[in-house]
Structures are given as structure tokens and as C-alpha cells.
């Protein structure tokens, strides 16, 4: 959509400079849009389809191929219009359009490369922060102390605690792919809360409202567990009366909504550093771009994080 808007803006400016009257401008915009948008969509679809192969090419070959293909796509757009009106373009105008197509293709390629380079350090930083937030020493020590206390009283439950802890660390330390399913994230968050339920007992009240249809949505790995951990750490742990944590997923048309909500008592209003929220927001942006939304709200009685992601598909295509 950004590429379409950019090309249309360039076309608008070009036609405004080239034509003398608004009627000529309307004709020029109609003809130009038919050519440019046909060429642009063909170019974008082809680049997406050949993306993996293009990455393996040299820098010079990438520029040469994609600029030449931009000129070819523009020529095809002109040809489609010439089928309807053979007098629509002169040979000189066709050549000028092809050269413009090559230049615009070069601009789009430069933008894509800059965007990719800008995301690399952000992705690495997000991963580092995510790992730091996953392995909090106080959580590790508390969990191990809980397991040791249960060894003599309830060995089976102690074994389950260590198994849940092992799974959390396995996922946190293993090399992560670009995405996982929401169902996998829910299962990991459930393991974390199972450990905390043993620690806090009746002080921690957990409610799950899960939509089975939402489980297949693709999300960044380890995006839900830090939100749940924050809810326990700031909404339950400091409060002598405890509190509740609610995790809800629902399918709404072409979007999946995830809600993490925790109570806020008088003694739980200590604000965190926001690392986990910033990390989750950044990784959602890296994966889904503007298709994902994250809304954080602090109310008098509760704190809520609401996330919306596409039902399927990612920005990586």
C-alpha cells in the first residue's frame, strides 16, 4: 500500500507539471494510473514470488534485474492500454514511461533495502531484551524453592513444576523462528501460570476465555508470556489480597484479538520499566507492520493489554 501511494503521488505531481488544464490532468491521471498501477502490482507480486532467489544474487545483479523488470512491467502496462487505444502512446512516450518505470523500481528497491537494514538491529535488540525479561532471577529462585519445598510433601507436583520450568527455559533459550501459533503461546503461558498458582495459591485467580478459532494465528514467539508475567508481578505479587489475571482470545472477522487483564489494588500501582511492553510492541511491528495493533490501558481497578493481529499471513511475504 505504501508503494502504491508513493507511485500514485509521483504520477500526480508529474501530470500536474506536464499538462496545461484540469481536463487534460484528468485524462492524464486516468491513463497514467492504468499503466503505473498495472506495472507496479505486477512488479511487487513478482518480487515477492522471487524474493528468496533474489536474496542469493549479487547486489549488482539485483539492481540490474529489478530495474530492468520495472521497465518491462511498464511496457506491459502500456501495451494493455494500446490494445484498447492504439493511439494512446507514441514510441517516444513509451520509451519515457519505461525509463520512468526503471527509476521507480530502483527507488522502491532502495527503500526495501533501507527498511530491511533498519529492522536488523531492532530485531536483535528486541531479542536481547526478550531474553533478559524471560530469565528473571527472582522467578527462577522462587520456582526452585517451590520445587524443593514440594519434593517431600508432593514429589509428583514438584516434578511437574520442574517440567514446566524446563519447558519455559527450553523455549526461551532455543533459536526462535519468525513466528509461532497463538495456541503454542497460550500453552507456554499456561505452564508459567501453573507454576505461579502453586506459589501464590488462592491469592492468584486465573481466568481463561479462549476461542479455538483464534489458535492458528501467527504471532511472534514469546509475546504472551511476558505480558502474563507482568500481570502477576505487578497486579498480584505486591498485593496482600492477591488479584486476578484474565487471558482472552477471540476471532473477529479477519483479526484475532488477545486480551491480558489484571486487577490493580491499592498496593499494586508500582509502575514497571515497560521493557516487556516495548519489546512485544516492537516484535509485533516487525512481524505484521501496521496490520498489528497494541493498546495498553490503565484503569482505576485494572490494567489491560489488548492486541490485534491478522488472522493469517505475515509481513514477511
CATH of the domain at 171: 3.30.565.10
DSSP at 289: G
Question: Is 88 in the same domain as 235?
Answer: no
pLDDT tens digits, the chain, 317 residues: what are they?
A: 778 887 788 777 777 776 667 677 677 777 778 788 888 888 888 888 887 788 778 888 888 988 998 889 888 888 877 777 777 677 887 788 888 888 888 888 888 777 766 655 555 555 545 544 554 556 677 778 888 888 888 888 888 888 888 877 776 665 555 678 999 899 988 988 988 888 888 999 999 999 999 999 998 888 898 899 889 988 888 888 889 999 999 998 889 999 999 998 755 455 555 677 887 888 788 778 778 899 999 888 899 999 999 986 444 43
Last residue of a domain, one of 87, 118, 149: 118
- In this structure, are 152 and 295 located in the same domain? yes
Domain boundary among 57, 87, 118: 118
92 and 181 part of one domain: no
Q: Could you tell me the CA-to-CA distances from 76 to 25, 63, 71, 73 in Å, in that order?
A: 23, 20, 9, 5
Same domain, 87 and 228: no
- 230 lies in a domain? yes
Q: Is residue 101 domain-shared with residue 174, that is, in the same domain?
A: no
Of 85, 118, 151, which one is at a domain's C-terminal end?
118
Residue 54 buriedness (CB in 10 A; 0-12 / 13-18 / 19+): middle
Residues 110 and 157 in one domain: no
| 264: containing domain | 135-310
Burial readout 113-134 (b: 16 or more C-beta within 10 A, e: otherwise): eeeeeeeeeeeeebeebbeebb
- 29 is written with which cell numbers? 491521471
> Whole-structure pTM over 0.75, yes or no?
no
User: How many domains is the chain partitioned into structurally?
Assistant: 2
Q: Which three cell numbers stand for residue 278?
A: 516495548
Q: Where are the alpha helices (DSSP H) in the chain?
A: 2-18, 22-49, 51-55, 59-84, 91-134, 137-153, 155-173, 182-200, 225-235, 275-288
Asked if 146 and 161 count as a contact pair (C-beta separation under 8 A), the reply is yes
What is residue 273's three-state secondary structure? Answer: coil
The answer on 299 and 155 residing in a single domain is yes
Q: Is the domain of 30 the same as that of 106?
A: yes
Residue 316 maps to a domain: no
pLDDT for res 173: 64
Q: Looking at the domain assignment, is residue 126 inside a domain?
A: no
Query: Is 181 found in the same domain as 111?
Result: no
Amino acid at each position: 500500500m505504501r508503494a502504491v501511494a508513493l507511485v500514485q503521488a509521483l504520477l500526480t505531481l508529474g501530470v500536474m507539471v506536464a499538462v496545461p488544464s484540469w481536463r487534460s490532468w484528468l485524462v492524464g491521471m486516468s491513463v497514467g494510473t492504468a499503466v503505473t498501477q498495472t506495472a507496479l502490482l505486477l512488479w511487487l507480486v513478482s518480487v515477492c514470488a522471487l524474493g528468496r532467489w533474489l536474496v542469493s544474487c549479487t547486489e549488482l545483479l539485483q539492481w540490474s534485474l529489478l530495474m530492468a523488470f520495472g521497465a518491462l512491467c511498464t511496457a506491459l502496462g502500456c501495451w494493455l492500454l494500446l490494445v484498447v487505444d492504439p493511439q494512446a502512446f507514441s514510441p517516444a512516450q513509451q520509451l519515457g514511461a519505461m525509463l520512468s518505470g526503471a527509476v521507480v523500481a530502483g527507488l522502491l528497491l532502495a527503500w526495501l533495502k533501507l527498511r530491511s537494514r533498519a529492522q536488523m538491529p531492532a530485531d536483535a535488540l528486541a531479542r536481547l531484551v526478550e531474553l533478559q525479561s524471560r530469565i528473571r532471577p527472582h522467578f527462577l529462585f522462587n520456582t526452585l524453592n517451590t520445587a524443593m519445598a514440594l519434593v517431600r510433601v508432593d514429589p509428583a507436583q514438584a516434578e511437574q513444576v520442574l517440567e514446566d520450568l524446563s519447558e519455559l527455559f527450553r523455549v526461551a533459550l532455543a533459536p526462535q523462528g519468525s513466528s509461532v501459533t497463538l495456541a503454542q503461546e497460550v500453552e507456554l503461558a499456561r505452564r508459567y501460570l501453573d507454576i505461579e498458582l502453586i506459589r501464590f495459591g488462592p491469592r492468584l485467580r486465573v481466568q481463561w476465555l479462549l476461542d479455538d478459532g483464534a489458535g492458528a494465528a501467527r504471532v511472534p514467539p514469546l509475546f504472551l508470556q511476558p505480558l502474563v508475567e507482568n500481570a502477576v508481578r505487578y497486579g498480584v505479587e505486591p498485593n496482600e489480597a492477591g488479584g486476578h489475571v484474565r487471558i482472552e482470545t477471540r476471532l473477529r472477522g479477519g483479526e484475532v484479538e488477545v486480551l491480558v487483564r489484571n486487577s490493580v489494588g491499592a498496593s499494586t500501582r508500582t509502575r514497571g520499566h515497560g521493557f516487556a511492553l516495548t519489546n512485544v510492541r516492537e516484535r509485533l511491528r516487525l512481524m505484521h507492520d501496521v496490520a498489528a495493533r497494541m493498546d495498553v490501558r490503565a484503569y482505576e481497578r485494572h490494567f489491560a493489554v489488548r492486541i490485534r493481529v491478522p488472522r493469517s499471513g505475515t509481513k514477511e511475504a
